Amino acid sequence: MKRALITGITGQDGSYLTELLLEKGYEVHGIIRRASSFNTGRIDHLYRDPHLDGVRLFLHYGDLTDSSNLSRLIEKIQPSEIYNLGAQSHVQVSFEVPEYTAETDAIGTLRLLDAIKETGVPARFYQASTSELYGKVQEVPQSETTPFYPRSPYAVAKQYGFWITKNYREAYNLHASNGILFNHESPRRGETFVTRKITMAVARIHRGLQECFYMGNIDARRDWGYAKDYVKMMWMMLQQEVPDDYVVATGEMHTVREFIERSFARVGRGIEWKGAGVDETGIDTTTGKTVVRIDPRYFRPAEVEQLLGNPARAKEKLGWEPEVKFEELVKIMVDGDLRLLDNPNYEIGF
Ligand code: NDP
Ligand code: GDR
C-alpha cells in the first residue's frame, strides 16, 4: 500500500488531495497544527476513529517551523510520497507577517527536504509552488521558462521554496518536483480569498442577509481553476519516473470584476458599475441598491495585476487538462454557498 504524508492537510488543497489519495487506496498521514478551536472542518467527513479496522487516514500534530517534529514524523511514517501544501498562504497577510511567512513557506520547505535527505527515507516530494512567483509579469502567458519577479513576502518565500526543491533534486538526487499552480478555488476555499469572499457575499445578499460588501482592486486579473482538478496534477507529477516542474493553469484570464458580475448573474441579478477609483460602486440592476463598494484597505502594497498560465507542458507530458473553467467554477462556488446558508450543517465534502 502506498503511504502519503501531507502538510497542510486541513487546507483547501489538502482536503481534496486526501480524498483523491484515499480513493486510490493510499494510507494517508496528515500534519495538523494545534489550535484552540477545531481546525479540521475540511477533512472531518473523511476522518474515522483510528481504533476501528481498515482506517487509512491518520493525523499527527506538527508544524513546518519545527524541524525535529518533521524528521520524527518522516522516520516514523516512512512515507513513499510527501506533499508539502502547508503554508501561510495569504498574499496580503504576508505583508503583515513577513518573517513568519518566510519561516513557514521558505525555511519550512527546506526543513522538510533536509529531513528527507537526513533520514534517507526514499520519499518522492511535491512542492506547492505558485504563479505568484511571476508577480510583475515578464511575459504573457507564463510558462515554466518565464522569469520570476515576486511581489510580496509570500511570493519571495515561495521563490526560496521553489529553488531549494530544485536544488535538493540536483544536489542529492531527490525525486522532488514543483507544481507552479495558478489560482484554484472551490467551495472549500478560505473565506478571505477573493473568489470565496465574493460568492459568500453574493449568496448572503441574495438571501437578504447582507446589503453590501467591500472589495480592493477589482481590475486584477487571474487564471482561476478548480482545486479538485489541480490536486490530480499533484499526484500525477509524483507518478513520473523523472521529477520535474510544471505550470498548472486553465489558460484563461478574467478580472475580479467579471467574477463579481458572473456570481450575481448566477443568482439572476445584474450589476452596473458607477463612479471611478475608490468611489466606484456596483449597483444591483434589479433592486437599484449598492451592493459593492471599494475599500482601499484591501489594496496591496505591491500588486500582481495579471496572471495567465500556459499549461501546454502539463498536457503534452502528463496528459493533464482542467475540466472546470471560469463559468462552471463560479456556478459551483455560488451554489455551494447558497447550500451552506440554507443548511449550515451541510458537509463541505463536495
Ligand atoms: P490553505 O491556506 O487553504 O491551507 C494552508 C494549510 O497550511 C492549512 O492546512 C494550514 O493549517 C497549514 N499551515 C499553515 N501554516 C503552517 C505551519 N506553520 N505548519 C504546518 N502547516 C501550516 O491553502 P491552499 O490549500 O489553498 O493551498 C495549498 C498550498 O498551495 C499552499 O502552500 C499555498 O501557498 C499553495 N498554493 C495555493 C494556490 C491556490 O490558488 N489555492 C495556488 C498556488 C499555490 P491550518 O488549517 O491550521 O491553518
Ligand atoms: P492571490 O489571491 O493573492 O492571487 O493568491 P486572492 O484571492 O487573495 O487575490 C486575488 C486578487 O484579487 C484582488 N482583490 C482582493 N483579494 C482579496 N483577498 N480580498 C479582496 O477584497 C480583494 N479585492 C480585490 C487581489 O488584490 C488580487 O489581485 C492566491 C493564494 O491562494 C496564494 O496562496 C496562491 O499562491 C495564489 O493565489 C496563486
The x, y and z cell numbers of residue 8, run together, are 497542510
List the residue whose alpha carbon is closest to atom 4 of ligand 2.
183
214 as an active site residue: the answer is: no
Within a domain: 348: no
Span 169-198, pLDDT tens digits: 999 999 999 999 999 999 999 999 999 999
| 85 and 60 both lie in a single domain | yes
At residue 278, does pLDDT exceed 60? yes
List the residue whose alpha carbon is closest to atom 35 of ligand 2.
130
The structure's pTM equals 0.98
Query: Is the shortest distance between the CB of 155 and ligand 2 below 6 Å?
Result: no
Read off the amino acid at residue 121: V
Among the atoms of ligand 2, which is closest to the Cα of residue 256? 12
- At 344 the pLDDT is 75
Span 23-41, pLDDT tens digits: 999 999 999 999 999 999 9
Cis peptide before 141 (omega within 30 of 0): yes
Within a domain: 331: no
| 97 and 127 both lie in a single domain | yes
Which of 26, 154, 168, 226 is catalytic? The answer is 154
Among the atoms of ligand 1, which is closest to the Cα of residue 188? 3
Question: What is the rounded distance in angstroms from the CA atom of residue 35 to the CA atom of residue 39?
Answer: 7
Cell 540536483, residue located: 170
| 165 and 73 both lie in a single domain | yes
| Of 46, 85, 107, best ligand 1 pocket probe by most atoms within 8 Å of the beta carbon | 85
Question: What is the rounded distance in angstroms from the CA atom of residue 26 to the CA atom of residue 231?
Answer: 15
Within a domain: 115: yes
Which of 81, 132, 185, 261 is catalytic? The answer is 132
Within a domain: 213: yes
Instruction: Give, in order, the Cα–Cα distances in Å from 5 to each of 30, 82, 85, 166, 240.
Output: 6, 5, 10, 20, 18
List the residue whose alpha carbon is closest to atom 1 of ligand 2.
91
Q: How many CB atoms lie within 10 A of CB 34?
A: 8
Indicate the DSSP class of residue 146: S
Question: What is the rounded distance in angstroms from the CA atom of residue 122 to the CA atom of residue 117?
Answer: 8
Q: Is 173 helix (H, G, I), strand (E, B) or coil?
A: coil
Angle between helices 153-172 and 108-119 (to 10 degrees): 20
At residue 349, does pLDDT exceed 60? no
| 77 and 203 both lie in a single domain | no
- Return all residues near 238 (Cβ < 8 A) that are at least 6 apart: 81, 83, 124, 125, 126, 175, 177
Question: What is the rounded distance in angstroms from the CA atom of residue 55 to the CA atom of residue 300?
Answer: 44
27: CATH: 3.40.50.720
| 133 and 207 both lie in a single domain | no
Alpha helices by DSSP H, listed for the chain, are: 12-23, 67-77, 91-96, 98-101, 108-119, 153-172, 194-206, 227-238, 256-266, 312-318, 326-342
| 200 and 163 both lie in a single domain | no
Ligand nearest to the CA of 36: 1
For the chain, the farthest-separated pair of C-alpha atoms sits apart, in whole angstroms, at: 65
The x, y and z cell numbers of residue 236, run together, are 500525477
Residue 300 confidence class, pLDDT cut points 50, 70, 90: very high
What's the whole-number mean pLDDT along residues 93-118? 98
280: CATH: 3.90.25.10
The x, y and z cell numbers of residue 57, run together, are 487516514
Within a domain: 330: no
List the residue whose alpha carbon is closest to atom 47 of ligand 1.
33
- At 15 the pLDDT is 98
| 233 and 297 both lie in a single domain | no
Within a domain: 291: yes
| 126 and 210 both lie in a single domain | no
Query: Is the shortest distance between the CB of 130 and ligand 2 below 6 Å?
Result: yes
| 213 and 153 both lie in a single domain | no
At residue 348, does pLDDT exceed 70? no
List the residue whose alpha carbon is closest to atom 14 of ligand 1.
87
Read off the amino acid at residue 309: G
User: 186 C-alpha to center of ligand 1: Å?
Assistant: 14
273: nearest Cα among 252, 255, 297: 255
| 213 and 232 both lie in a single domain | no
Per the structure, the complete domain to which residue 206 belongs is given by: 194-218+256-302+336-342
* Residue 313 backbone dihedrals phi, psi, to 5 degrees: -65, -40
Within a domain: 205: yes
Query: Is the shortest distance between the CB of 295 and ligand 2 below 6 Å?
Result: no
Among the atoms of ligand 1, which is closest to the Cα of residue 100? 18
201: nearest Cα among 193, 190, 192, 212: 212
User: 7 C-alpha to center of ligand 1: Å?
Assistant: 8
| 13 and 38 both lie in a single domain | yes
83 as an active site residue: the answer is: no
Residue 21 confidence class, pLDDT cut points 50, 70, 90: very high
Within a domain: 181: yes
At residue 86, does pLDDT exceed 60? yes
| 249 and 265 both lie in a single domain | no
Residue 345 confidence class, pLDDT cut points 50, 70, 90: confident
- Number of structural domains in the chain: 2
User: 83 C-alpha to center of ligand 2: Å?
Assistant: 23
Span 305-318, pLDDT tens digits: 999 999 999 999 99
